[in-house]
């Protein structure tokens, strides 16, 4: 039976490439404790030099566009490459926040009321406020790590946020005031629930990646009934979107204790202190064990594919 080399893809071309590089370095070290591992820096929207689908199983830490939206996955599918995580279709679906919300809502998972729009046909601030109320969150429809996130508390702030948008597809959501939660999914099952408490009150890019600006409670201090609702919603959302192997599902819980899905991250941050590893530690998995479990289904797919190709 063929034993593959784990190829960790990191970097990429998106606004999140620095985050990806840090995730990739951490995962390569951890994976090397269980497998022969090689780190591949990705610098363009193509397969990196030296990658061999006949020898490598890909563990991608590419965040954002191209890495997380199905672009890299389609290239791997085209050459018959085995890779961990969601396939191209599920990756493309979950990268689209609006489509994700529609998909999970159809399965009964609550989502935040929203207005979708293109930069070329922006709604009036008064119309956004009429539909969603004066407190809104405005963010790109296809970015992660809170890139481009804007908050507005009145019509004037909504108008200013809309005026700054010059390109792309965007989504405005009714702002839920409450508790932000994150749940790791591994093999279709929810892990621990992490509560995120940014000191600024907003979990934006700075709060995510600047040490000391956010407090994390793992496990989150929730009553059993709410914890069960959040885990069930996370698992349902994962299945509804056709996800595979692992993901991270984020929620906002209102002051009335109603959980609303924010998004599904199919390639979340993967440093040792990132949210998915925090969630896994709540379930008894340290970082080394987590990445081993994350890549193992892809290793099995590689072995089955190798067996099928034998004469």
> Which residue among the candidates 23, 60, 145, 274 is catalytic per the annotation?
145
8 Å CB contact between 66 and 95 = no
- Verify whether residue 265 is a known catalytic residue: yes
Query: What strands, in cross-sheet order, belong to the sheet with 178-186?
Result: 214-217, 189-198, 178-186, 246-254, 259-265
Query: What is residue 142's three-state secondary structure?
Result: coil
Characterize 62-71 residue by residue with b for buried, 16 or more Cβ atoms within 10 angstroms of its Cβ, and e for exposed: bbbbbbbbbb
- Verify whether residue 145 is a known catalytic residue: yes
Q: Give the separation between CA 216 and CA 197, rounded to whole angstroms.
A: 6
Q: Give the separation between CA 218 and CA 288, rounded to whole angstroms.
A: 18
> Which residue among the candidates 14, 16, 87, 231 is catalytic per the annotation?
16
> Which residue among the candidates 248, 274, 279, 281 is catalytic per the annotation?
248
> Which residue among the candidates 250, 274, 281, 292 is catalytic per the annotation?
250
Burial of 238 (0-12, 13-18, 19+ CB in 10 A): buried
> Which residue among the candidates 21, 60, 182, 265 is catalytic per the annotation?
265
- Verify whether residue 246 is a known catalytic residue: no
- Verify whether residue 16 is a known catalytic residue: yes
> Which residue among the candidates 18, 55, 169, 209 is catalytic per the annotation?
209
- Verify whether residue 2 is a known catalytic residue: no
- Verify whether residue 71 is a known catalytic residue: no
> Which residue among the candidates 244, 269, 274, 279 is catalytic per the annotation?
269
- Verify whether residue 263 is a known catalytic residue: yes
> Which residue among the candidates 68, 263, 274, 292 is catalytic per the annotation?
263
Residues noted as catalytic: 16, 145, 209, 248, 250, 263, 265, 269
């Amino acid at each position: 039976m063929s034993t593959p080399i784990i190829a960790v893809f990191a970097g990429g071309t998106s606004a999140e490439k620095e985050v990806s590089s840090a995730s990739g370095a951490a995962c390569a070290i951890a994976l090397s404790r269980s497998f022969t591992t090689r780190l591949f820096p990705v610098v363009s929207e193509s397969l990196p030099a030296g990658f061999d689908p006949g020898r490598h199983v890909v563990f991608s830490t590419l965040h954002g566009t191209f890495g997380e939206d199905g672009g890299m996955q389609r290239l791997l599918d085209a050459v018959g490459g085995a890779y961990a995580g969601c396939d191209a279709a599920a990756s493309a679906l979950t990268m689209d926040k609006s489509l994700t919300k529609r998909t999970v809502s159809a399965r009964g998972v609550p989502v935040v009321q929203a207005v979708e729009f293109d930069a070329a046909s922006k709604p009036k601030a008064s119309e956004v406020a009429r539909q969603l109320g004066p407190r809104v969150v405005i963010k790109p429809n296809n970015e992660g790590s809170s890139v481009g996130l804007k908050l507005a508390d009145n019509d004037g702030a909504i108008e200013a946020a809309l005026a700054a948008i010059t390109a792309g597809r965007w989504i405005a959501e009714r702002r839920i005031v409450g508790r932000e939660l994150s749940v790791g999914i591994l093999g279709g099952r929810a892990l621990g629930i992490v509560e995120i408490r940014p000191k600024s009150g907003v979990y934006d890019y700075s709060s995510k990646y600047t040490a000391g600006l956010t407090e994390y409670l793992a496990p989150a201090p929730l009553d059993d009934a709410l914890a069960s609702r959040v885990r069930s919603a996370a698992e349902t959302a994962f299945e509804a979107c056709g996800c595979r192997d692992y993901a991270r599902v984020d929620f906002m819980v209102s002051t009335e204790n109603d959980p609303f899905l924010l998004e599904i991250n199919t390639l979340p941050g993967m440093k040792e202190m990132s949210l998915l590893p925090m969630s896994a530690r709540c379930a008894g998995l340290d970082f080394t064990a987590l990445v081993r479990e994350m890549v193992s289904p892809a290793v099995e797919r590689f072995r089955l594919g190798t067996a099928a190709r034998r004469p």
